[in-house]
Structure 1
Amino acid sequence: MDDLPKSQLLQFTERAMVLARRAVTRFSTRYSRKRFTLRQHVVLLCLKVKKTATYRGFVDELIEMPRIRDALDLESIPAPSTLCKAFDRLKMAVWRVLLNVSLTDLPVNGIAGIDASGFERAHASTHYTKRTNLTIQQLKTTLLVNTATNAVLDIHVTTTRKHDTQIAPQVVKRNADSIGVLTGDNGYDDQNLRQLTRDHGIRPLIKHRAFSSPHKAWNARLDSDLYHRRNMNETVTETIKQKHGAFVRSRRWWKQFRELAIKCVVHNIERTLSVSRPV
């Protein structure tokens, strides 16, 4: 078996384990039973999302994956409830750190695009949506994407109907050091956002709403080569939806947010392997 070439799934597992070692400690607390490490939980949850499987279905597949278990140094198979509880314990901040770490081996330039899309909440809690008077059926997910390697730099998720111009400033402030040029469609046409980007030394390439002749003239003078790179946002979003599902399985909103963050981490790991893979 050792003579067999490494599958893409095995390469993904090994890469995810390298990132997990950089991002999280070995155990969450000194009182841990130490049967499974925190890093093993992180990689297993990434594999579950990559395979778009349920907890029970993924554990069943893991039984037939001896090379994956060896790569993770798993001495036993975790129960589905074990992985579910690990997902509950790992906060959104952990996945944001892992998302940042996943960018370390990608040739990221300073040109980023921002765009929003919706993910279906097929298993949303009826009690929660009723209690908060929510009727929206999708999670509004805003991705900040680097146009050089189609890597996800940041993610913002909301259950509300916030306008793009209310979400973008928060994303820009979090990533100001890694953005040189920000591209966006006319949904992000807001003078406050333009001023915010300039204050952080970022060049805004955001299309104006064509309400008058000057707006049409300004749009015509946009750097078309740079501006059209914002199409990479749509490419990344569709790739994530096709490969890892256009929906979330979790029932609680905070779990749904984390699930989408894991999808972005998985996407970045796959991009790293794709860039480093010889042609």
Structure 2
Amino acid sequence: MQTLPKLQLLRFVEQAMHVARRAVPRYSSKFSKRRYTLHQHIVLLCLKVRKNTTYRALLDELIEMPRLRDALGLTEIPIPSTLCKAFNRLKMAIWRVLLTLSITLLPTNGIVGIDASGFDRSHAWKHYTKRVKLTIQQLKVTLLVDTRVNTITDLHVTTIRTHDTQIAPALIRRNANAITVLLGDKGYDDQTVRTLARHQGVRPLIKHREFSSLQKAWNVRIDADLYGQRSQTESVNSRLKRTYGAFVRSRRWWKQFREIGVACLTHNLDQMF
């Protein structure tokens, strides 16, 4: 009998399982019931985001997917509350480790763009919110994107209106070894950001706000071809929203942060194919 080829979904599951095995132990603790592994939980949560579906719908589909069950090592299908509890247990630090490990499997060039975007904290109908004049606060998500293969190097999520120049330093310090050139728009034009980047061995390529003729001249001298790669960061922000949803479903802020982290990891895993 002819062997069926591996589709992209199956390769995604296998790659996610490989990353999960490198990042976390098999079980959460010695008191675990050992019915399902942490690796299986992580892959199923990524698969839920990739398919942009609910826990129940994902598990219903998994019943008809024997090859995926074999790749996951599942002998039985978990109930939706099992994945909900697993998501609550997996802290943001674990998703950051998984994100970092996913980058090591992809070819990067160190030319990194930084950009921020907003994600709705509710998926209320837009016409309704406009009619009743309801204001929904957004999550501000700042991404570091390597421009070679459009992978997400790191992220910063906040619920308040923090200025871009206050967010950039933390991202630069955390990822100084992975960045050679930092591309940013005028929102990151701050001498503190430039000084910190140079101190960390990073070349800042950030446009100046044009308040004088000298600053206009500095912008003209910027390497246009290199700086043009910054637009790829905006493309990744757009793809996250179009592919995985422009809003988060969780009601608690710490779970909302994790949702964005899972989406970024899923994006990197998708970029491997």
Please give the TM-score of this superposition, normalised by the length of structure 2. Answer: 0.94
- Tell me what 1:104 maps to: 104
- Tell me what 2:17 maps to: 17
> 2-side partners of 1:99 and 1:55: how far apart?
22
Q: Which AA in structure 1 matches 2:227?
A: Y
- Tell me what 1:225 maps to: 225
**Matches of residues 123-138 of structure 1 in structure 2 within 5 Å?**
137-138=137-138
* 1:181-209 Cα distance to aligned partner (Å, 9 max, x none): 00000000000001000111111000000
Structure 1 unmatched runs, 5+:
125-134, 274-279
CA shift in 2, pair 1:90/1:11, >3 Å: same
CA shift in 2, pair 1:52/1:2, >3 Å: farther
**Matches of residues 6-85 of structure 1 in structure 2 within 5 Å?**
6-85=6-85
Instruction: Give 1:147 shift.
Output: 0.6
Instruction: Give 1:242 shift.
Output: 1.2
Q: Is the counterpart of residue 188 in structure 1 residue 188 in structure 2?
A: yes
Instruction: Give 1:137 shift.
Output: 2.2
Whether contact under 8 Å (1:111, 1:181) holds in the other structure is: yes
Whether contact under 8 Å (1:102, 1:268) holds in the other structure is: yes
* 1:72-131 Cα distance to aligned partner (Å, 9 max, x none): 01011011000000000000000000000001121111110000001111169xxxxxxx
Q: Is the counterpart of residue 153 in structure 1 residue 159 in structure 2?
A: no
- Tell me what 1:260 maps to: 260
> 1-side partners of 2:33 and 2:143: how far apart?
37
Instruction: Give 1:136 shift.
Output: 5.0
> 2-side partners of 1:123 and 1:187: how far apart?
28
Instruction: Give 1:172 shift.
Output: 0.6
Q: Which moved more, 1:58-67 or 1:187-196?
A: 58-67
- Tell me what 2:172 maps to: 172
Q: Which moved more, 1:1-10 or 1:224-233?
A: 1-10
Q: Is the counterpart of residue 215 in structure 1 residue 211 in structure 2?
A: no
* 1:200-251 Cα distance to aligned partner (Å, 9 max, x none): 1111000000111011000000111111110010111111111111111111
**What is the count of residue pairs matched by the alignment?**
263
Instruction: Give 1:64 shift.
Output: 1.5
Whether contact under 8 Å (2:121, 2:248) holds in the other structure is: yes
> 1-side partners of 2:229 and 2:26: how far apart?
40
* 1:35-87 Cα distance to aligned partner (Å, 9 max, x none): 00000000000000101111112111111211111100101101100000000
Q: Which runs of 4+ in 1 moved over 4 A?
A: none
> 1-side partners of 2:86 and 2:105: how far apart?
27
> 1-side partners of 2:2 and 2:254: how far apart?
41
> 2-side partners of 1:238 and 1:123: how far apart?
17
Q: CA RMSD in A?
A: 1.3
SS at match of 1:18: helix
Whether contact under 8 Å (1:118, 1:140) holds in the other structure is: yes
Whether contact under 8 Å (1:17, 1:72) holds in the other structure is: yes
Whether contact under 8 Å (2:120, 2:136) holds in the other structure is: no
Whether contact under 8 Å (2:122, 2:136) holds in the other structure is: no
SS at match of 2:243: helix
> 2-side partners of 1:18 and 1:248: how far apart?
27
> 1-side partners of 2:251 and 2:57: how far apart?
18
Q: Which moved more, 1:88-97 or 1:59-68?
A: 59-68
Whether contact under 8 Å (1:116, 1:140) holds in the other structure is: yes
Q: Is the counterpart of residue 241 in structure 1 residue 241 in structure 2?
A: yes
Whether contact under 8 Å (1:123, 1:250) holds in the other structure is: no
Whether contact under 8 Å (2:121, 2:136) holds in the other structure is: no
Structure 2 unmatched runs, 5+:
125-134
Whether contact under 8 Å (1:136, 1:159) holds in the other structure is: no
